[in-house]
Amino acid sequence: MKPLLKSVFLLLLFSWTVKADVVVIVNPLGPDHLSQSQVKKLYLGKSKYLPELGKAYIIEMTDGDAIRTEFHAKVTHKSAAQLQAYWSRLIFTGKGKPPHTVRTPELILSLVASKSNAIAYIDESLVDDRVKVAYRP
Phi, psi at residue 129, to the nearest 5°? -75, 0
* CA–CA dist 116, 122 (Å, integer): 17
* CA–CA dist 1, 46 (Å, integer): 55
For 25-68, write each residue's pLDDT tens digit: 999 999 999 999 999 999 999 999 998 889 999 999 999 999 99
Pick from 10, 5, 23: which is nearest to 75 by CA? 23
Single pTM value for the model: 0.82
pLDDT for 10 beyond 70: no
For 96-107, write each residue's pLDDT tens digit: 899 999 999 999
Q: How many helices (H) and strands (E) does the chain have?
A: 5, 7
Pick from 29, 32, 52, 49: which is nearest to 41 by CA? 49
